[in-house]
Structures are given as structure tokens and as C-alpha cells.
Amino acid sequence: MITAKFGGTAVTPRNLVYLKKIISPFHKVVVVSAVGKEFSSDVKTTDLLEKYFFSGDDNIWKAVEDKYRRLTEVNGIGIDVDELLFGAKARARRYGLQYCMSLGEELSAKIVAEYLGAAYVEADEVVRFGVRSLLFKETMSAMSNAYKGVKLAVTGGYYGMGKYGRQTFSRGGSDVTGALCAAATTSSLYENWTDVYGVCVADPVKVYGVSTIRSMSYSEMRALSRGGAEVLHPSAISPAERFSIPIKIGNFYNPQGASTLVSQCYSQNKLLSVTEQRVDGKIKTTILHNMNFAEISAVVSGFFGERYSVLNCFGVSINTEKNKTYSCVFSKNKAVLVTESTVIEDLYKYLRRAELIKVD
């Protein structure tokens, strides 16, 4: 039995057909996000809903309507979308911001359920929050009751019912709903379908052809998600880990293509991720890895050594050139470089030459 979650890009007029192709008789629960971006400058439904809540601007609501009308029209889905949208608008600004922002997932799930000929299971009925956080046990039992005996069910991600009304997870939270559904139905696999080939060491936009990390452990994925990898919500890991359910992160455009499997097995990759952040006017580059201290310090001093004089690479290394200071702090499985200007492109090149970043 499989639980599959589809991100917003799959739930767009031209891509919904890919979702349908993936669903097999082994699938039991499908979790969907709100309609996502169709092109890079497009605005996600959830962002539109947030703006609509604060402004009440009818043009923004029309943009939301347009997304869902086209979703049904392009795919020939026989649902009364006008009635759905009318009902959603009436509730949109009445029950608070989180309620309004959850409407995209609710609309997506109702439409996708009709499209797949599946049962619609309302997230309010199965995802339970306490005053602040998720009530795990209540959610598990509500879900196992709701999905029992259902052949295929569709549920909206990202929200559920709280003590004082509907509540959402943080952004990207449909991943969490999917993981909870997988746990409650003791699925043998949790598929998380996105528009990229799983998790890569480097940004695929900057390193053309960078290869996917084929497998990694739950804890490695957790470190990556916490470090800002946007491919999976950090809270989606524990429910799967608790029941040893592997998470497959794959590309819905090419389901047989490269993907990342997150399970109990540790990655074979020496390098897991290289990310860059701007913090207080400095550039912080974080390298997550599976190397021992000697190996990672050789990589870092090798990189800096090509450009700057390395004074010391043990614990903290300070390198000076042209009165600039560079520092590197090592902790277990992590090296953080702090520099005055970006080094990521050079670092990518260096790591490619060292064959720590592989390209296909």
C-alpha cells in the first residue's frame, strides 16, 4: 500500500495528467497541495489567499478562481467548480488567516478526488491539533478509521482541525500530512512527488546535470531539511521514521527517473549538501558531509589553499588575504565557512574536480 503526496506544481492545469499516470491500484491515499506555480513569475494559490485575507481585493480572489476553473476545464473534470468557489469565498475571510490559507488545499483535494474517482476525506476530520501542536495519537486513530475500507482517498495537505477551528502547519506542510497518512495506513512507501529529481548535493540550476543522492537516512534528511533544503518539510520525517516507512522523493514528470530514498540506510555519498546563506552581511556556506575530520579538513584547506593562505585548519581556521578574514568551524558532519563574499560557485567547481559532486 502506498501513500502519495503531490506538490503544487503537479496540481496545475497541464500537469494534473502526470499525477493520474502515477496512481496505481497500490495507492491508497493521495495528499495534494494547493495549485502551485505554472511559470516562474506566477504566484502560488496559498500566497494569493494570504494577500486576499488581508486586502479583500476581489482581483486577487479572481486569480484564485481562475486557477481552479482552469484546473477543472483543462482536465475535463465534471465538478461544479462555481459552487465550490462560491462556498470557499463565503468562508475565506470569516475564520481567520490560517483558515483562508487552507482553502487552496481543500479545493485541490475536492477536484482531484473527482478527477480520480476517489473518495474525498476532509482533512478537518483526520488531522487534529491541540492548542498549538499536532495531536499525534488522535490524528492516527482518526485517519485509520477514515481510510479503512476506502479503495482510494484524496485529502488536502497542510491543514487540520484545532481546538478553536481550522489550523495549518507551517508552509510546505502538505508533506507532513502525507507522512501522517502513510503512518496511519502503515503504508509500505511514502511517495513525495515534486518537480525535481529528489535531493542533490548542489543547486541543479547552478551545477548542470548534478546527480541525485540516491539514498540517505532519516537523520541525514533531517539535517538537510533543517539546513534549509526545501524539498521536504522537516516535520514530515518523524512520522515515517517511527513506522520505518521509506520516503521516496521523485520527479512527477519522470517517475522512473532518479529519486532519493530516505530510510534507515545511511547515504553512500561523502557529501550531502552545500548551501549558502547571507547572515549579517557575511556569507555562510554550510557543507553537510559524511567524512571524518581529516577528510573534511583536507577538502576545506584544499579549497582555500588554492586561493588563500591557510593558517590553521583545526577546529577554527582563519585565512587572510587582502585584509579579508575567512573562518571555518567544524562540527560533526558539518563544516561552516564564513566569508566576506560568495564562494559557492568556486566551491562547486572545486568539489566537482575532487569528484565529491558528481554529474550525470
Interacting residues with ligand ASP (CB under 6 A):
8, 33-34, 44, 46, 104, 157-158, 171-174
Minimal distance in Å, beta carbon 11 to ligand ASP? Answer: 9
In the bound state with ligand ASP, the residue whose beta carbon lies nearer, of 52 and 326, is 52
Report the nearest approach of ligand ASP to the CB of residue 306 (Å): 40
CA dist., res. 276 & res. 343, Å (int): 9
Within 13 Å and on the Cβ side, how many CA atoms surround 69? 10
**Alpha-carbon separation of residue 40 from 91, 203, 252, 268 (angstroms):** 29, 16, 18, 34
Q: Which is nearer to ligand ASP, 37 or 214 (CB)?
A: 37
Q: Which is nearer to ligand ASP, 8 or 246 (CB)?
A: 8
Residue nearest to ligand ASP (CB): 174
* 173 vs 250 by CB, closer to ligand ASP: 173
The phi-psi region of residue 269 (left if phi > 0; otherwise alpha if psi is between -120 and 50; otherwise beta) is: beta
Nearer to ligand ASP, 33 or 260 (CB): 33
Q: How far is the CB of 16 from ligand ASP (least distance, A)?
A: 15
Cell 575530520 sits on residue: 293
Nearer to ligand ASP, 192 or 215 (CB): 192
The CA distance from 202 to 255, in Å, is 21
* Least separation in angstroms between CB 36 and ligand ASP: 7
**Which of 211, 189, 193 lies closest to 252 in space, CA to CA?**
193
What minimum distance in Å lies between the beta carbon of 344 and ligand ASP?
Answer: 26
Amino acid found at 87: G
Of 35 and 184, the one with the shorter C-beta distance to ligand ASP is: 35
CB closer to ligand ASP out of 106 and 114: 106
Q: Contact, 200 vs 190, CB < 8 A?
A: no
Q: How far apart are CA 84 and CA 356, in angstroms?
A: 51
What minimum distance in Å lies between the beta carbon of 68 and ligand ASP?
13
**CA–CA gap between residue 318 and residue 310 (Å, rounded):** 7
Query: Shortest distance, CB of residue 9 to ligand ASP, whole angstroms?
Result: 10
Question: Which residue(s) pair with 133 in the sheet?
Answer: none
Supply the minimum distance, in Å, between the C-beta of residue 32 and ligand ASP.
9
**Strand 2-6, strand 27-32: pairing:** parallel
Contact (CB, 8 A) for 61 and 35: no
DSSP conformation letters of 276-318 = EEEETTEEEEEEEE---HHHHHHHHHHHHHHHSEE---SSEEE
